[in-house]
Copies of this chain bind each other. A is one copy, B any other.
Amino acid sequence: MKTLRPRTFLAAMCACVLAFTATITRAADSLPSWNEGKAKQSIITFVEKVTKPGSLDIVPVPERIAVFDNDGTLWSEQPMYFQAFFVFDRIRQLAPQHPEWSTQEPFASVLRGDMKGALAGGEHALLEMVMATHAGTTTEEFGQVVKDWLATARHPVTKRPYTEMVYQPMLELLAYLRANGFKTYIVSGGGIEFMRPWAEQVYGIPPEQVIGSSIKTTFELRDGKPVLVRLPEVNFIDDKAGKPVGINQHIGRRPVAAFGNSDGDLQMLQWTTAGSGARFALLVHHTDAAREWAYDRRSSIGKLDQALDAADAKGWTVVDMKNDWKTIYPD
């Protein structure tokens, strides 16, 4: 009889323990905040299909890539993207260093508390505000600015910290996928460096699995110390057709599952589901005006129109937030 070498034996033992743990994960209810129904069942059916030993649709662990939009998919996005609140707060914070802002639009409107006026200048004004608040620091300084803001900022409607406006059912879904060997990524139109400082703690998603929009950075030696400085120039917009581009750039393989909530996610879901083998696509439909917000085809934030038609045509899962979710936010 062949004697197993100690490492081989330990590796086998370990694999066995892991497999047993995985079975238990499957058996228990990993999605307690999801009501029983089509949406929940479609998730479980897919995960079992691609992970169950012997399944014809099994996907090797390295290829178990799941991508999640952030705004409106993992956390709320009303009455405006949370990063926009950051921009406005940061303008107020920086105003003492910029006396010219008191008369210069769009900054003057922000400082008067007139958000409508601030946004009246359209995309150009928005870009100007983003650059004034996101560029000019080192990458490390900016991370700290974001963390400091999150520590005290509160949402104007719920009065909660923004990081407590993440969706409990989606946190469970992230954990359930990871317990089944998936690598979970964020693929968001939001700023990559705006999300990274908190995504690991809040979602369990490490910085290297966060993909987002970015501005250019440059390497400098400051007094002999290397720093990366953030420049007021767009590098990449990770939205709509940009999402598959960002996924390819960062991950280099096609995801097997994609989760979104708006037309900005349509191409990501198309790209994901066009691969061979089992694929999964899900849209969060905001239908709960009482516990969160209700909006879709006519919303200026998180517009869900073409993607909803595509879901209908392609058989993608659509979560009816009001009926499919027992709770919205964590307790």
Name A's B-contacting residues (CB within 8 A): 6-7, 10-11, 13-14, 17-18, 20-21, 24-25, 62, 65, 139, 183, 192-193, 196, 200, 206-208, 210, 214, 217-219, 221, 225-226, 228, 235, 241-242, 244-245, 248-253, 267, 270-271, 274
Contacts and interface: CB of A to CB of B under 8 A. Distances in A.
30 contacts: A6-B24, A7-B21, A10-B17, A10-B21, A10-B24, A13-B17, A14-B14, A14-B21, A17-B17, A62-B206, A65-B208, A139-B248, A192-B249, A193-B252, A196-B252, A206-B252, A207-B251, A207-B253, A208-B250, A217-B248, A219-B242, A226-B244, A226-B267, A226-B270, A226-B274, A228-B244, A228-B245, A228-B248, A228-B271, A250-B250
Given A65-B208, A218-B241, 4 more contacts: A7-B24, A217-B248, A218-B245, A226-B271
State the number of copies, please. 2
Contacts of A208: 65, 183, 208, 250-253
Nearest to A199: B252
A273 B99 CA distance: 39
A219 B196 contact: no
Given A217-B245, A248-B217, A21 B17 contact: no
A207 to B, nearest CB: 3
A251 B139 CA distance: 13
B214 A249 contact: yes
Contacts of A25: 7
A287 to B, nearest CB: 28
A217 B221 CA distance: 32
A183 B183 CA distance: 14
A280 to B, nearest CB: 16
Contacts of A217: 245, 248-249
A206 B63 CA distance: 10
Contact of A20 (B10, B207, B226, B274): B10
A18 B24 contact: no
Name the prevailing secondary structure of the A interface residues.
helix
Contacts of A228: 244-245, 248, 271
A111 to B, nearest CB: 32
A87 B288 CA distance: 56
A272 to B, nearest CB: 9
A41 to B, nearest CB: 24
A192 B14 contact: no
A178 to B, nearest CB: 14
A13 B20 CA distance: 12
B17 A14 contact: yes
Contacts of A200: 62
Contacts of A13: 17
A259 to B, nearest CB: 17
A325 B235 CA distance: 42
Contacts of A251: 207-208
Nearest to A140: B254
